[in-house]
Structure 1
Amino acid sequence: MNIYTRTGDEGKTSVIGGGRVSKDDLRVEAYGTVDELNAFVGQAAAWMAAQDVNVWGDMTEKLVLIQHELFDCGSDLSYADPEPEKLKVTAEMTARLESWIDGSEQETPPIQRFILPGGSEPAALLHVCRTVCRRAERRVVTLAADRPCPPEVRKYLNRLSDFFFSAARAANTRLGVADVEYERGAAVFRRAAKE
């Protein structure tokens, strides 16, 4: 089997149930940005997989699962007319992200100010995931305003960007690196200190 098909040489691609569309179609842009996010998640997971499994094993497993779920998001977005019984992204997947976020917040010190992306290499990688995830979410919102779009994908991506933020902070904590606070910002968060 050849990896190349030449069918897209004229700038068109296929969507499920929708025939051929331009490669810059809103739907293609949405699932293409999800695919881009998946590549960045893979980069973060690869960095962690090369480190101490006792420190990074749980986060690596989560990122690999997220990669599979992002493929599910792309699959759901590729339907020109989504049929609920064929969709893969569920509310349970979004709820699992919320539980992971809660766990990360227990691991990190209270946050008071906005923070800059970075601090440590894995945190920086996760912040890249966060920002690309936000862009993917924006592409899905644009698609949903114009065409049929599975609503759970949008919810999942919204929660996923929050997960990447909390995971980035947890990565800094695991390495004993402080988050880099935005110097010009006031204290805007009011999370109570851990007991």
Structure 2
Amino acid sequence: MGHRLSKIYTRTGDSGTTGLGDGSRVSKDDLRIEALGDVDELNSSIGVLRSQIAVSTIEDKATWDKSLSLIQHWLFDLGGEVCIPNFNLVQPVAIEYLENEIDRLNEDLPMLKDFILPSGSLACSYAHQARAVCRRAERRLMSVHSRDQNIQAPSLQLLNRLSDWLFVASRALQRAEGGSEILWQKNINETI
């Protein structure tokens, strides 16, 4: 590892700019910094989900923890890529893993015929919240890619597949805690 943080405040960002990993400085509201912030928020959301599963009644916590740990590491890698233009850290194996896990989790779930509301147990709800943050991070990363054309395909695919994984995970977590999805009701106004 190149540099260790021995001093947390540097005062170099006091003028509204921040440094990228390649040494360049950009405005703190630069699209790249916005994307980096969204990826960081997503990683934090995954951490909250991970801590909730640890204290839940869900069986097979070790499998969930392994997946969430991998995801957090991949998101940290993605942050490195966003911070250092033209740098590759995210590997296709991450996308393959998520696809395999989506298939595995989805095997035991009933076919979804209606939209579901992002609600349920705490773990399920945190997965839904992380999914929404993931979609925002994906949109922001696409904006950076549209402007700079230097975000690698596995990085773009990671967030797309992760949002799918979080959706299926929310359903699986809700079932694991003994609940079922809360379905959207098309004509809810008629029940008032």
Please report the TM-score for the alignment, with normalisation by the length of structure 1.
Answer: 0.88
> Residues 159-187 of structure 1: CA distance to partner in whole angstroms, max 9, x if unpaired?
000000000000011112110111118xx
Residues 18, 152 of structure 1: alpha-carbon distance in 2 compared, 3 angstrom cutoff: farther
Report the alpha carbon displacement of residue 4 of structure 1 after superposing the two structures with TM. Answer: 1.4
Q: 1:143 to 1:18 in 2, by over 3 A?
A: farther
- What SS does the aligned partner of 2:56 have? coil
Contact 2:46 2:130 in 1 (8 A): yes
State the Cα deviation string for residues 55-99 of structure 1 (Å, max 9, x = none). 43211221111111100011111123x04xxx1101111011000
Q: Percentage identity across aligned positions?
A: 39
Aligned to 1:75: 80
Match in the other structure for 1:29: 34
Are 1:105 and 2:106 counterparts?
Answer: yes
* Partner Cα separation in structure 2 for residue 44 and residue 12 of structure 1: 32
CA drift of 1:52 comes to 4.5
Matched length = 181
**C-alpha distance in 1, partners of 2:116/2:128?**
11
Gapped runs of 5+ residues in structure 2?
Answer: 1-5, 188-192
Tell me whether 1:153 sits opposite 2:155 in the alignment. Answer: yes
The answer to whether 1:138 aligns with 2:139 is yes
Cα root mean square deviation, aligned: 1.5
Aligned to 2:25: 20
* SS of 1:54 mapped into structure 2: coil
Following TM superposition, by how much is the alpha carbon of 1:2 offset from its aligned partner in structure 2, in angstroms? 2.6
Judge conservation of contact 2:99–2:161 (CA < 8 Å) in 1. Answer: yes
1:191 match = none
Alignment of 1:52-91 (within 5 A): 52=57, 54-80=59-85, 82-83=86-87, 87-91=88-92
Post-superposition Cα deviations, 1:22-63, rounded to whole Å, max 9, x if no partner, equal 011111111111001000100010111123573432112211
The farther-off stretch of 33-42 and 148-157 is 148-157
Paired residue secondary structure (1:13): strand
**Matched letter for residue 165 of structure 1:** F
- Residue identity opposite 1:170 in structure 2: A
Cα-to-partner distance string for 1:92-144 (whole Å, 9 max, x where unaligned) = 11011000000110122221111110121110000001000000000011111
For the pair 1:182 / 2:187, whether they are aligned, the reply is no
- Contact 1:48-1:57 at 8 Å conserved across structures: no
Give 1:128's aligned residue.
129
Do 2:58 and 2:177's aligned partners in 1 also have CA atoms closer than 8 Å? no
Residue in 1 that maps onto 2:190: none
Whole-Å separation in 2 of the counterparts to 1:20 and 1:13: 5
